[in-house]
Amino acid sequence: MDIEDIKKNMKLSIDGVPYNVVEAEFVKPGKGRAIYRLRLKNLFTNSTIDRTYHSGEKVDTANVTAQEKQFLYKEGDHYVFMSTDTFEQVSVPEDQIGDKKNWLKEGDVVTVLMLDDRAIDVTVATFVNLKVVKTEASSRTATITAQAKQAVMETGAVVDVPVFIHEGDVLKIDTRTGTYVERISTKK
């Protein structure tokens, strides 16, 4: 593929390693060929590099596909996902999932980015509903001013919530920021 066709969020293969294009900047100097500056994120290690290309150069695209998979369970330090069509299972190391593990609940359907037969990234839903398993009791005087307390969710995530939240409540959480959005239901 020509360097001129590269856009943000495209997947490239450099020396056999897949990268995501984080930034693509075009510079046309007064003389000479145009320059393309790319900031690339390594999809294996999450590190970033900067590369400069000149117009007319070729780059390889990575053979990356996004697949819908269901989260089954955690086994040791790996998370196991299953294709709902073929029932094929794939295991993803915990360090590759990172903080997204805080929003994974058994049975959730997520998008898994695959490079050939290897899972390289997991994308969770923007909003998830999680049950509060532990929180502090609040006093009556705590309602005079807007305050927050911490709640432990069923996935182990710790979220700041309003003082009226109780154990057993189901909350809507924004996975991008890890913040409380609203209470979906109260404990029975």
Alpha-carbon span 128 to 54, nearest angstrom: 44
Tens digit of each residue's pLDDT, the chain (188 residues)? 888 888 888 888 888 888 888 898 888 888 888 889 999 988 888 789 999 988 888 888 888 888 899 999 999 999 999 998 888 899 988 888 888 899 999 999 999 988 878 888 888 989 999 999 998 876 555 555 667 889 999 999 999 998 888 899 999 999 989 899 999 887 65
Length of the chain: 188
What are the structural domains of the chain?
3-61 (2.30.30.30), 64-123 (2.40.50.140), 127-185 (2.40.50.140)
Cβ-contact 40, 19 below 8 angstroms? yes
Strands (E), the chain: 11-14, 17-27, 35-42, 48-54, 60-61, 64-75, 78-83, 89-93, 109-115, 118-123, 127-135, 148-153, 158-162, 170-174, 179-185
Q: What is the pTM assigned to this prediction? A: 0.70
